[in-house]
Amino acid sequence: MGYRYIGSKDKLSDIIISEIHRINNNTETVIDLMAGTGLLSLALRENNFKVVANDVMTYSYHHLHLHLLLSKAPDFNKISSIVKNQNLDNKKSNYTLILDYLNNVKPIKGYFFNEFSPEGNPINATKPRKYYTAENAAKIDAIRKEIKSLKKRNLITDIEHSLLLHDLIMASNDIANIAGTYGHYLSKFVKRAESPMLLYQSKFSNLGQTEGHQVFKGYAEEIAPKLVGDICYIDPPYIKRQYAANYHILETLAREDEPEAIGESGLRPWRDQYSNFCSKVKIRDSFDKIITSINCQDFLISYSEDGLIPISDLILFLSNYGTVSKKNIEYKRFKSNNSKKESTLNEYLIHLKKD
Ligand SMILES: C[S@@+](CC[C@H](N)C(=O)[O-])C[C@H]1O[C@@H](n2cnc3c(N)ncnc32)[C@H](O)[C@@H]1O
């Protein structure tokens, strides 16, 4: 199913790519500085660009490994030490075998069961939470434990580890009892959330540029001085809602930890991934750090009419660094199930050519 991610540019990739060609037809390397789902990075790679991608969130780092660094399933060449001989089916790929193996591990009543299921006993809440059914939460606990142990015992490589965590994130997201983000869970289980959780195979793309991509994880403001590219695409958060808070459970899956789950929603402590782009006061300073320190002359910036700062103010501010132009795109609004807002909004693609 994939997941609904606030601000995902999956559906805008054609327009963004044609803007990149328009700005500089000789572009070789594109920096995707806040890459989120990594789906735009994938489209860039498939369109023959070299991609340097980054995000502050750990789940994004795992998605980017699949989308940029893999063009076929990894070997999983220690499979015979993982799967018992009698279950080794020669006709199946090692990747299929490991997913079958993980799908069949015995459920455990662990952290996810206790903190995020109705049969749990959360440490910091007055009543159990309902992000997952008890069966699915216990399955997630068991699969997390097994992936962590495979890595610790060196039975999987770093990229195999990233792929399995990506697969776990996608499968857990499919059966999460939420309206769109993990800001809160739904009071009644929806049908989708009651289906059994199942890891399924990721698709691998071998289109376009398969070599030479780079993946980073960290604050754009800090990573920018290390990056070199022909065009830097920046897709910052444009509202106050922090990604780290809205996708806290995906981050916990990606980090393989068991943080304190706070309050009714069970948020992990997320201040270490706080984004300045969600603050009217700090956003300009962050743009300044990026634009002045990165080794790149052209910037393409996505912003929205719903943005924290009005588009005219943003353009005025960016004009301090060079020549600015803007393209309008009418776009379908991200709507959580109970939102009554208009269903279209204006997205902007701002081009800054640095002096
Ligand atoms: C609008 S989303 C990007 C969506 C992405 N283009 C896609 O198609 O999935 C904004 C992203 O910026 C990331 N982010 C926010 N502040 C950041 C920062 N200071 N440095 C790096 N990433 C940041 C968030 O984690 C989030 O994934």
Which tens digit of pLDDT belongs to each residue from 27-55?
Answer: 999 999 999 999 999 999 999 999 999 99
Question: Residue 340: what pLDDT?
Answer: 59
Q: Does residue 318's CB lie within 6 angstroms of at least one atom of ligand 1?
A: no
pLDDT at 343 over 80: no
Which residue lies with its CA nearest to atom 26 of ligand 1? 36
Over residues 154-189, the pLDDT tens digits come to 999 999 999 999 999 999 999 999 999 999 999 999
pLDDT at 91 over 90: no
Q: Does residue 13's CB lie within 6 angstroms of at least one atom of ligand 1?
A: no
Local confidence band at 268 (pLDDT 50, 70, 90 cut-offs): very high
Question: What is the topology classification, in CATH, of domain 1-59+207-237+275-355?
Answer: Rossmann fold (3.40.50)
Q: Does residue 251's CB lie within 6 angstroms of at least one atom of ligand 1?
A: no
For a substitution probing ligand 1, which of 55, 57, 219, 282 has the most ligand atoms within 8 Å of its CB?
A: 55
Q: What is the mean pLDDT of residues 269-291?
A: 96
Question: Residue 306: what pLDDT?
Answer: 87
Question: Residue 4: what pLDDT?
Answer: 83
Q: What is the DSSP string of 159-204?
A: HHHHHHHHHHHHHHHHT---SSSTTS--SS--HHHHSPP---PPP-
Query: For residue 55, which atom of ligand 1 is closest to its CA?
Result: 22
How far is it, in rounded angstroms, from Cα 232 to Cα 65?
A: 19
Q: Does residue 243's CB lie within 6 angstroms of at least one atom of ligand 1?
A: yes
Question: Residue 333: what pLDDT?
Answer: 67
How far is it, in rounded angstroms, from Cα 201 to Cα 133?
A: 23
Question: Residue 201: what pLDDT?
Answer: 97
347 burial class (0-12, 13-18, 19+ CB within 10 angstroms)?
Answer: buried
Q: Does residue 245's CB lie within 6 angstroms of at least one atom of ligand 1?
A: no
Question: Residue 196: what pLDDT?
Answer: 98
Q: What is the mean pLDDT of residues 110-132?
A: 96
For a substitution probing ligand 1, which of 58, 241, 275, 283 has the most ligand atoms within 8 Å of its CB?
A: 275
Any alpha helices (H) in the chain, and if so which ranges? 13-23, 39-46, 58-64, 79-82, 94-103, 111-116, 134-152, 158-174, 191-194, 220-223, 243-246, 248-255, 283-293, 311-318
Which residue lies with its CA nearest to atom 13 of ligand 1? 34
pLDDT at 337 over 60: no
Q: Does residue 235's CB lie within 6 angstroms of at least one atom of ligand 1?
A: yes
pLDDT at 332 over 80: no
Local confidence band at 287 (pLDDT 50, 70, 90 cut-offs): very high
pLDDT at 349 over 80: yes
Which residue lies with its CA nearest to atom 12 of ligand 1? 34
pLDDT at 228 over 80: yes
Least confident window among 2-11, 95-104, 246-255: 2-11
List, in order, residues 6 or more apart from 58 with CB less than 8 Å away. Answer: 217, 251, 254, 255
326 in Cβ contact with 349 (< 8 Å): yes
pLDDT at 338 over 70: no
248 in Cβ contact with 267 (< 8 Å): yes
Q: What is the mean pLDDT of residues 128-132?
A: 98
pLDDT at 336 over 60: no
Local confidence band at 331 (pLDDT 50, 70, 90 cut-offs): confident
pLDDT at 342 over 90: no
Sequence ranges of the chain with CATH classification 3.40.50.150: 1-59+207-237+275-355
Q: Does residue 275's CB lie within 6 angstroms of at least one atom of ligand 1?
A: yes
